[in-house]
Amino acid sequence: MLGEMPRVLRETSITMALALAAFALALYLGRMQNYLLFHSLAEIFSIVVACGVFMVSWNSRESESPEARNMACLGIGFLFTAILDILHLLTYRGMGVLAPERDLATKFWLAARYLQTSSLLVFALALRTRLRPPFRTLFAGFGGATILFILMILRWDAFPTAFVEGVGLTPFKVISEYVISSLLAVALLLILGARMSELLVGRLLAVSLGLTIASELLFTLYIHSDGLANQLGHYLKIAAFFLTYQALIAYQVRKRLATIQELEAAKRSLLEVNAAKDKFFSILAHDLRNPLSGLQTVSELLAGRYDELPEADRRRFAGLLRDGADQSLALMNSLLLWVRSQTGRILWEPGSIDLAQASEEAIAQMRAAAERKQVRLESAVPRGTQAYADGNMVSTVLRNLLSNALKFTPAGGLVRVNSEAENGHLATSVTDTGIGIDPADLDKLFRIDAQLSRRGTEGEPGNGLGLILCREFVEKNGGRIRVCSQPGQGSCFTFTLPRPPEGASGSRSRPAGDP
């Protein structure tokens, strides 16, 4: 669905642009027949779009985003602008409403432009300062100004004359248009200086203001109401209103796209949590139960027939008890460590660490298991190799990777640790000469939602939990982990870590393996 949203936005923009072009053609054809038809169509379009701006912006008023609330402020101003434009349309000469000789239409036109400019200026100021003007105050302000303009024009006849047919514009009209253009230029600069979350929306609003300014300047040039400058001014006004509406639509679509992305991210997170829960119960039900069952069986045998068993069998059973206890303890420690990592209870205290020393210490801890299996362990990490990470997490990663390599390497094999520079980071690899991994299973590694359980060359159990911990700890320290493997030839697990910054101190975190 996310892939469809940009396409829908493009298709919507193209459709609306084609509709605007078709309407412009209709206006031109209407002008060829009758200027009153042209004027009426142009004003009706502007009124409808202004009402659309209000409805679209008002629907997003409850959003926590200051931009959405400021859009609603703009919509309120456009709503009252539409009311004055309706009166301008009804009082236009030839419409047969009220007295055309009083030039009511031009007065209402100028009043509407003053109100539109005020709403754009309030919007730009609120956008730049991140203020949230109360909606009631805006309704009262714009509503009061609308009523005042209506009373001044219709009741008190106190609004100055703006146009005289055959003579042209009055100085009041020309000065007003220049004042309006100047205020619109201020609003344009404020919008250009504001950092909107959606760059496209800011650009559309800026172009809309530019067209509005050009429209107002054209309305200072005509002498006859059906002159060319007046017609061009109406075309630019229509385009400006359309772009304002398009900006709001783009804002709404992009915000809904962001909401969908957040919901899908939450869905993925829930799926991962559910998979983690299933993995946890699977380990408890199977991987932990099996060694405990083995311990119970061997201990019962020893307890019931200890005196009857030969010394060699008693030693062998004692070894089985030790191995089973070691497996259970290792699994329990991994479970506890994994649970703590999932609940955020592991401290992350990065510092400068010596990778050569860390690898040698991890090898020393695995030495006994390697000798029992007759596998050779080597460290080829250069002395003085420094990385910037949590030392205990890195030690846990090295131990898990070494344990994993030993598990799948037969007697006489080799496991080697090495480290080298890679794209500004340090890449540490654990390479073995073991049985390798089937290509179909590579994608299942490091994933909590994938079921991958394999036994080692001597039947050692495996549940994949150690590799999941490795990925989480490596990524926590700003690195990445990857694997390459060939069945029958061995595997190479590589993880990257950043280099230490200047002045970095040693890692001071608690051991990552402590429960």
Q: Could you report the per-residue pLDDT of 170-182, keeping only the tens digit for each? A: 999 999 999 999 9
The string of DSSP codes covering 136-188 is HHHHHHHHHHHHHHHIIIIIS--SPP-EETTTEE-HHHHHHHHHHHHHHHHHH
Region 244-266: mean pLDDT is 80
pLDDT digits (tens, 9 = 90+) for 39-64: 888 899 899 999 999 998 888 777 76
Q: Please write the tens of the pLDDT for every residue from 285-308.
A: 545 555 666 667 778 777 777 777
| Whether pLDDT at 443 is above 70 | yes
pLDDT at 320: 72
Neighbours of 212 (CB within 10 A): 26
Checking if the pLDDT of 380 tops 70, the result is yes
As a whole number, the mean pLDDT across the chain is 81
Mention every residue, 6+ apart, whose C-beta is less than 8 A from residue 433: 409, 413, 414, 415, 489, 490
> What integer is the mean pLDDT of 142-152?
96
pLDDT at position 283 is 55
DSSP, res 506: B
CA-CA distance, 40 to 90, in Å (whole number)? Answer: 9
The pLDDT, as a whole number, for residue 387 is: 92
Q: What is the reported pTM?
A: 0.57
- Which helix (H) or strand (E) is 75 found in, with range? helix 66-90
Residues near 481 by beta carbon (within 8 Å), at least 6 away in sequence? 446, 470, 471, 474, 475, 493, 494, 495, 496
Assign 8 a pLDDT band (cuts: 50, 70, 90): low
For residue 482, give the H/E element and its range: strand 481-486
**DSSP code string of 272-292:** HHHHHHHHHHHIIIIITHHHH
Helix (H) / strand (E) containing 490? strand 490-498
